[in-house]
Amino acid sequence: MGKNLIQQRRGKGSGRFRAKSFASAGEATVQPKQSYEVIDLLHSTGHSAPLARVKYDDNTHGLIIAAEGIYVGKTYPMGAEAPISHGNVLPLKAIPEGTPVFNIELKPGDGGRFVRSSGGAAKLVARSDTGVTVKLPSKKSKTFNPNCRAIIGIVAGGGRTEKPFLKAGKRHHAMKARNKYYPSVSGSAMNAVAHPFGNKRSLRKSKAKPTSRNAPPGRKVGAIAARRTGRKR
């Protein structure tokens, strides 16, 4: 009998591979208010960027993704009339081209869905009657509803990935905090019982081959329903 592949074990839905959402500080979304005051800056296990605990103008509290340069005790305005300054929240239609933004809403009022990782920022590149075009950190462009809001500036915590882990144990604990799969092992480096590409014949790579889209779960690995294979010339 062979072993289940890692994707089979993860798909089972057991707690071993479930993200520890209860350890996170909470959901970080921007509420539709007039202004917010930063009460505290905190670390959240479920987020790569620091979070800001804020108090809105109606005395309600919440969490948002912290912008680089904000500090405790300052009040930041929100809305179309707010000035273009880091930490302020404005609709995309009120932000000039070339301005760095983050935490962009997909639909007006959803609190922010795009560009939330530490050190990330998007840039407004064009506007039209149909929407506002934003260049994302992935270099892809996406058009948003002009009423979608975004935070001016860059996400705090930039440079986080530049510090090396130095030890595998440190990386293990960092990945375990978010229940990420680690370490990632190549299928050809496994034993034959653990993976269709695995064997003991000196890591023979020739077993890696295209497979049908209708292959059973224990065999559906590698180049699934590949349109073409081989070196592109």
7 within a domain of the structure (yes/no): no
**How is residue 228 written in tokens?**
């073409």
Taking a C-beta distance cutoff of 8 angstroms, is the pair 90, 80 a contact? yes
Count of other CB atoms within 10 angstroms of residue 170: 11
Same domain, yes or no: 61 and 95: yes
173 within a domain of the structure (yes/no): no
**What CATH number does the domain containing 105 carry?**
2.30.30.30
CA 212 to chain centre: 31
18 within a domain of the structure (yes/no): no
Give 204-215 pLDDT, tens digit per residue. Answer: 777 778 899 999
Buried b (16+ CB within 10 A) or exposed e, 56-95: beeeeebbbbbbbebeeeeebbbeeebeeeebbbbbbeeb
Same domain, yes or no: 86 and 153: yes
Rg of the chain in Å (alpha carbons): 23
* pTM tops 0.85: no
- For the CA atoms of 200, 205, 206, 208, what is the dihedral angle to 10 degrees? 110
Same domain, yes or no: 206 and 121: no
- CA 180, 155, 48 angle in degrees (round to 5)? 15
- For the CA atoms of 173, 20, 218, 225, what is the dihedral angle to 10 degrees? -100
Domain hosting 151: range is: 24-160
Per-residue confidence in pLDDT tens, the chain, 233 aa: 688 998 888 888 787 777 788 888 999 999 999 999 999 999 998 899 999 999 999 999 999 999 999 999 999 999 999 999 999 999 999 999 999 999 999 999 999 999 999 999 999 999 888 899 999 999 999 999 999 999 999 999 999 989 999 999 999 998 888 888 889 988 888 888 899 888 887 667 777 788 999 998 888 998 899 988 888 88
Exposure of 206 in the CB half-sphere (CA atoms within 13 A):
4
- What are the start-end ranges of the H helices in the chain? 6-11, 168-177
